[in-house]
Every structure is written in structure tokens, then in C-alpha cells.
Amino acid sequence: MGKRRVPRKKIKDMTARDREVVAALENMADDIVKAVGNGEDPRFQIPVRALSNVFFNTNRRIIEMGDAKIDRKFFNLSMAKKFMQTILIASMCKKELLETGKTTSIRDMYYMIKHSIGKTRENTVDDQSESDPIIEDIEVTLETLREELHLFASNRGSMVGPVILEDGGDTINLTKMGTGGWSVPSIVEPDTVKFKESKAQFILLVEKDAVWRRLNEDKFWKKHKCILITGQGQPPRGVRRMLYRMRNELRTPGGGKLPVYVFVDNDPWGYYIYSVIKQGSINLAYESMRMAIPDARFLGLSAFDLEKYDLGPDVQIKLNKQDVARTKQILNYDWFKSKQWQKELKKMLKNGVKLELEALSSKGISFVTEEYLPDKIKAGKGKGWLV
């Protein structure tokens, strides 16, 4: 590190936001110097990112973060290492990224700060799973976004549909993306991704990559004029932010906002994915307001589909103990307190089984594209989908 000379940006050359972030990072360092000057144990006050510190804002219908903070003290053996890692990452963000105008992945950041301490075999960090939460800590502490720290996560997620956009200066026609689709970058802020044109009527988020591929192959998006997007499991921030922007910035030919349909497995994890799209996540509650889509529509699989589509025992998977416990937990979320949702969740518990999206293939390979999805969307609120 620091062996090769990298031209540095002067403060005046930075964007306004970069300047703010640099000031916030400098504040962190100043706080340490000040505390030590007073003979005090230096500490960071980090907002708590846990269920205990989130609440459901019933007006805005999103999860917001509370005010609870935790002291991360240096002179506490269980926190000392994290403290050191925090200031280490902060210093790298400032010196190696903001000052050079470069952006890097969180994996790269892990390697940037990883080195052995002194002459010991102990490392500053041993695994990326140690540095990633620290980055999130810095985000919440400084009230910055990851991209404002010039960091991004690895890309995950694909998208196709009747949309033309600009990505890093290149114009991309999302109707001509072949079988793989456009890889959704982790940073999709307006200065990177700009919308040019859209003929879409709605957006369909699919949990499973395999199902997304089926829909793409069947050109479902063409027939139904929709944007087809997958996050390959729990959608990463890029996909969620993309959904939010599309929801709020694109308009149907009729001038309305694009409805967002969520198509997930019928299991607690699927419900939670929907919950995150809709209200935001507990871990990243501070970003809910720029990611949550409170009127996202839960299309399926619904627990009621089991009987409705007569899905046989071959495709049913028994709920295990954790599934049941997790579902009971979800039953208690404020945002699932409506009658319909309680019915839905309790129905799954009553079924005692979970269903994967692929279960629909038992009805024929294109059953999902030709019957299930069109029927459900057509059936409308309550019958076809839930909010």
C-alpha cells in the first residue's frame, strides 16, 4: 500500500458530497485525538443495526432505524479489534478512495486493510465477513451511503425488458441482452445509471435465477411488456435501489407508476425477501427510505396456491422447525399484521409444507409464463396478489 504514487484530488476538486464525507471521516480521527488528549477511552458511537432498534413507520410504511447507539470502545478487549478495523477502513476510504477519486469493491477493501499486525501472525482482518459489517457500521455512523464511501458490493442480479438506459456512459438496450440479461451493478445512482426510454407496464422481481431464465427464454417480458429482474436470492442493494428508482422514475405509457410484482418461493425466506423489498431490511434500515417500495405486490407463490393449482406431494417440502419458528417471527412483524397477511402466513403453517417456484413446472414447462403469472396479475389485488 502506498508504494506507488497515486495522484490525489485536492479538496476543492471533489464533489460536494465527497467533501462532506471526507469531513465526516476526519471527524472520526479528530474524536480519537481529542479523547486521548483528555485521557479518555476513545470510542465510536454506532447506531444499533438490529431488530431491537428498528421500528415500522406506519405513515411511510417502511422500516426505520431507531436512535439506539452502541459504544465501540478501544480499551475493551472484545471491541478493541473492531475499533481498530473501523478506523482502518475509514482511513482507507479517505486516503485511497475519496482522495484518489477511485471506487472499489468491499472485497477489495478487505484486502486493502488486511495485513499482519507488527511482527505477529495476527491479522487486522481474517475474513471478509469481518470487514463487511464494519463498512456498514461506518455507513450508519457517518450517515453516508456505501457508494459515497466509494465502495460497492460485487454485482449480483440480472435484468431485461423494454427499457433503454445509460450505464457508465454506454447506452444499453435491455431488449437485446441475450439469455443472460444486463448485470445490475451495485451502484445504480443517477450519475452512473440514467433512464432513456421505457415501454414497460410493470416490473416483475423473481427470486430464483432459474425461473428468471425460463421467463426470459419464453420472452415473457416481450409479451407482457414488463421489466424482468432477479436478485438471485435476497436482492442486493443494487437491485433494490434499481427497483426503487424504476418504480419512482419510470412511467407507464398511461402515465402511471409501474407496479412492482414480487415472485418468490412459498417459504419464510420468500416472505422475508418480499418484506425487504416492501419495507426495507432490519440490517440496512437506514437505507429503507431510498430503497423500500411499500406498495410492492406479493404475487406468489402463495400458500393458497397449493390447493388452487393442485400442487402434488412430489413438489411439497415439509416445513422444518426453523421454518416454523421463522414464520411465527414474521407473523409478529408490524407490517404483516393485516388480516390477509395473517391468513396467508397461517395458511402456510397449516399446510405444513413449503413450495419452490420450480414446483409450478410440474404443471408443464411454460405453465408459469403462460398461465400462472398472467392469471395472477389479471386476478388483481386480493385474489391474484397481496400488498
Positions in the binding site for another protein (CB under 8 A)? 25-26, 28-30, 32-33, 36-37, 39-42, 52, 73-81, 83-84, 87-88, 90-92, 94-95, 117-122, 124
Catalytic residues: 111
Quote the least distance from Cβ 87 to another protein, whole Å.
4
State whether residue 13 is helix, strand or coil.
Answer: helix
Quote the least distance from Cβ 132 to another protein, whole Å.
18
Quote the least distance from Cβ 216 to another protein, whole Å.
45
Quote the least distance from Cβ 205 to another protein, whole Å.
34
Closest of 89, 107, 110, 85 to residue 98, by C-alpha: 89
- Residues forming a β-bridge with 365: none
Judged by beta carbon, residue 25 or residue 163, the one nearer another protein is 25
Judged by beta carbon, residue 76 or residue 342, the one nearer another protein is 76
For residue 285, give Cα distances in angstroms to 48, 288, 385.
10, 5, 25
State whether residue 333 is helix, strand or coil.
Answer: coil
Q: Which is it for the CA torsion 121, 82, 149, 11, positive or negative?
A: negative
State whether residue 60 is helix, strand or coil.
Answer: coil
C-alpha cell at 31: 474524536
Judged by beta carbon, residue 124 or residue 362, the one nearer another protein is 124
Judged by beta carbon, residue 74 or residue 182, the one nearer another protein is 74
Quote the least distance from Cβ 141 to another protein, whole Å.
14
Judged by beta carbon, residue 91 or residue 155, the one nearer another protein is 91
Contacts of 242 (CB under 8 A, 6+ apart): 157, 159, 184, 188, 193, 229
The answer to whether 52 and 283 are in contact (CB under 8 A) is no
CA distance linking residue 216 with residue 228, whole number of Å: 8
DSSP character for 65? E
